[in-house]
Amino acid sequence: MSDPDVERYLAGAALYGDDFDDAQIAAWLADEKQGYADLGAKDACQYSYEYHAWNWLHGYRHLPKQEFRHVLGFGSAYGEELLPILPRIGSVTIVEPSGVFVRSDIGGVAVRYVEPGVGGALQFPAETFDLVTCFGVLHHLPNVSFVVRELARSMRSGGYLLLREPIVSMGDWRQPRRGLTRHERGIPLAILEQIVRTCGLQTFQRALCGMAPAERLFRHIRRDVYNSRVLARIDAGLSAAFAWNVNYHPRSLLQRFRPTGVYLVLRKTDAGSPCCANG
């Protein structure tokens, strides 16, 4: 990768990996397949989901009060992110590349695990799911545009997608980074919003989150910061106040005081969108 290419990516002008060819995508996914599991989420007895308050504040409370007959959790590991609305769910399908998370049910609701196809293709018919959740998964994948296209294709018209992603570089991914997998990087906000628009998804609700460096201070109060509704709301207020300072890769101390993520509640409005068609 040449220096001009790196600068283009770090400036947020393009998304690293989104223009990869098939061989590059395969190499990336081979590296990442076990990455999340290897970072400590393998043991179900020790695993603790840390984002319930965040998901409720920025996601679930904005959904209509209805039953969701068919729900897809994209990269949902043990499926615990679905617990807050489990009584309203008919069936659950989870897409996971790692077999270490497989379980037979979530709180009594049967769950089916499937692996993604080559390059992130989803082996579901169009118009299958009423609700899709995708929390902190896309930034592990190279071809984000294609994967969002697949998620949109699999959704029913009028269905919802809850999406949470980092919108910062997360550091220079060419170097080892503590606590991160080899390739993960955030998605520039403008690029992410363009991708979802192109796929016929309307933004129903948008919230910035993950205010840095306040998040590190919060962790002195409790480890699972975003299981606290109070801390989640404080984070939301700070993130909104510093929205003017959103940037992908900080070049100064001031630029580090910015929201690092976004929550999007998206609704599929056009089943006929070219982006959402098969192929």
pLDDT given for residue 43 in this prediction: 60
| DSSP three-state, residue 16 | coil
* Digit-coded pLDDT (tens) for 228-276: 999 999 999 999 999 999 999 999 999 999 999 999 999 998 654 444 4
Q: What is the rounded distance in angstroms from the CA atom of residue 75 to the CA atom of residue 141?
A: 11
Least reliable range by pLDDT among 25-29, 33-37, 151-155 = 33-37
194, HSE (Cβ side, Cα atoms, 13 Å): 9
Distance separating the N- and C-terminal Cα atoms of the chain: 29
The DSSP symbol for 148 reads H
Q: What is the rounded distance in angstroms from the CA atom of residue 12 to the CA atom of residue 116?
A: 28
Tell me which residue of 96, 154, 147, 152 sits closest to 125, measured CA to CA.
Answer: 154
| DSSP three-state, residue 157 | strand
- Write down the mean pLDDT value for the chain: 89
Pairing of strands 129-135, 89-95: unpaired
Residue 208 has pLDDT above 50, yes or no: yes
Identify the band that residue 126 occupies on the pLDDT scale cut at 50, 70 and 90.
Answer: very high
| DSSP three-state, residue 155 | strand
Least reliable range by pLDDT among 67-76, 169-178, 180-189 = 169-178
* Digit-coded pLDDT (tens) for 157-178: 999 999 999 999 998 888 888 8
The DSSP symbol for 206 reads E
Residue with tokens 């955030």, as numbered in its chain: 186
pLDDT given for residue 261 in this prediction: 98
Q: How many residues does the chain have?
A: 279
Is the peptide bond preceding residue 213 cis, with omega within 30 degrees of 0? Answer: yes
Domains, the chain: 3-272 (3.40.50.150)
Q: Residue 106: which residues within 8 A CB-CB, separation 6 or more?
A: 78, 79, 80, 82, 83, 86, 92
Give, in degrees to the nearest 5, the angle at Cα 222 between 220 and 227: 140
Q: Residue 45: which residues within 8 A CB-CB, separation 6 or more?
A: none
pLDDT given for residue 60 in this prediction: 98
User: Tokens at residue 200, please?
Assistant: 């016929």
CB-count exposure of residue 193 (10 Å: 0-12, 13-18, 19+)? middle
H-only helix segments in the chain: 3-10, 22-32, 35-36, 52-58, 144-154, 189-198, 214-218, 229-241
Stated pTM of the model: 0.91
Q: Most distant CA pair in the chain: distance in Å?
A: 52
